[in-house]
Amino acid sequence: MKKVLLAGLMILLIIGLAKASFAVPGSITLNSAIESGGDYSNGINIWFEAGTYDFSVVSGGWNAWSNVSGCSSQGTDCLTGWMWSMDIYQPSTSTSFRLGSKIDRYETQSQALSAHASDHLVLNQPTDGDLWFYIKDGIPGDGKLFVSDNTGSVTVAVAPEPMGTILFVVGGATFGLRRFLNKRRSG
């Protein structure tokens, strides 16, 4: 009877963990021409459970100008050009986070992506609630919003941060359960 009860509890634990791991989107894409602007109110709002999440750069790049200019011979340090940046606003703490850079500008979209391909952001969501994702095109109220000529998009991967810990605990529990059952059989 105890074996059945322990096996049932293990199955419920694994189902609960699997369900929690699929509660977040696998990736988020912002199309700069539609979901961008000078403030976070016109981005995408997505509900996240409380927890720690790792956001990492996947693809894309965006351009807030109709042309590229002033680049070095390597296609970097442009006055106007391609960028890889996404901003995240957390209403529960009134805090803004940035993945990528709003300063670095490149001659091509692929250069912007290459420069930020290893960037990631670990964010703690203290309570269940929305996170707002947006491309910050200018500073609200500065009169320098280039929404009408944005092109491109950016995509991030989203993973619950404690997933490695969860898998370690489940593996350890499985090993411990097997050892316990083997001891009971032999003793």
What global pTM score does this model have? 0.69
* Cα distance from N-terminal residue to C-terminal residue, the chain: 17
One-character DSSP codes across 13-64: HHHHHHHHHTSS-SEEEEETTTSEESSGGGSEEEEE-SEEEEEEEEEEEEE-
Q: Six-digit token pair at 160?
A: 């619950």
**Residue 41 banded pLDDT, cuts 50, 70, 90:** low
Q: Residues 43, 36: contact at Cβ < 8 Å?
A: yes
Distance of CA 156 to the CA centre of its chain: 5
Tell me the per-residue pLDDT of 89-121, one tens digit each, with 9 for 90 and over.
999 999 999 999 988 999 999 999 999 999 999
pLDDT at 7: 64
Report the interhelical angle of 163-186 vs 2-21 (nearest 10°).
170
The whole-angstrom separation of Cα 159 and Cα 170 is 18
Average pLDDT, the chain: 79
Could you state, in order of their start, the residue ranges of all structural domains in the chain?
Answer: 38-161
pLDDT, greater one: 137 or 102: 102
Q: Residues 76, 106: contact at Cβ < 8 Å?
A: yes
Q: Six-digit token pair at 181?
A: 């059952």
Q: Six-digit token pair at 140?
A: 């609200």
pLDDT at 22: 46
Q: What percent of the chain has pLDDT over 70?
A: 65
Tell me the per-residue pLDDT of 145-174, one tens digit each, with 9 for 90 and over.
555 567 888 999 999 976 555 555 666 666
Q: What is the mean pLDDT of residues 68-81?
A: 94
DSSP-derived pairing of the beta strands 129-136 and 36-37: parallel
pLDDT, greater one: 127 or 20: 127
The whole-angstrom separation of Cα 180 and Cα 182 is 5
pLDDT at 60 over 60: yes
